[in-house]
Amino acid sequence: MTARTILIADDHPLFRQALKLAVGRAAPDATILEAGQLGEAIEAARGAARLDLVLLDLRMPGSEGFAGVALLHAERPDTPIVVISSADEAEAAPRARAYGAVGFVSKTADLATLENAVARALAGDRDAPVAALPADDISNRVASLTPTELKVLLGVLAGRLNKQIAFDLGVSEATVKGHMTAILRKLGVQNRTQAVLAARALDIRFAD
């Protein structure tokens, strides 16, 4: 049987080392991939023949709040993502789940807690339900976008033109325009500026 593969995405080498220890205890047979910024994590996820788990920090170079969760979930929708972050859990956990994460662990957790989170995620467990976001919360509307629509929206958030987004995604500009029409409808907004404001629901406040 092919060995399991786990991606650790965090920009702090010492914390990545701690996560590697937790993974080594919970899944000693696993192949570990490492990334120090979101772009590296996405490339690793895209290139892995098999990916069983992602351990993801919300706050690292290239990440726009929950964009990392959303983009990695879009790339590998069947791979569980556990967020490990210094963000306030009461606020961040439900939003992380809305964008595709299966669990949330504070960076203040001890090694045993990290190990348990890895083991639970690999076993298919999910965090207990948390209070639902309001039905009209913009996070729910952003989370309703398809993976490609989400990538287009994040391109808009980054200030890229339709033709640039089309090049990034390897599609035609007309296809991007079609996705933009769907995005505006799903978000309940009228134009790109309003879409950018909606996309900022991906932001998150971090603890000092």
Question: What CATH number did the domain enclosing 50 receive?
Answer: 3.40.50.2300
CA distance readout (Å), 6 to 10, 45, 53: 13, 10, 5
Separation of alpha carbons 32 and 26, rounded Å:
12
> Is residue 73 located within the same domain as residue 107?
yes
The CATH number for 195's domain is 1.10.10.10
Q: What is the pLDDT of residues 132-175, one digit of tens each?
A: 555 457 777 877 788 788 889 888 887 889 999 999 999 999 99
**Is 130 a member of any domain?**
no
Number of structural domains (the chain) is: 2
Q: Note whether residue 131 is domain-resident.
A: no
In a domain, 133, yes or no: no
Residue 177 belongs to what domain range?
A: 138-202
Residues 196 and 163 in one domain: yes
Q: What is the pLDDT of residues 93-135, one digit of tens each?
A: 888 887 889 999 999 999 999 999 999 999 988 775 555 555 4
Question: Global pTM?
Answer: 0.77
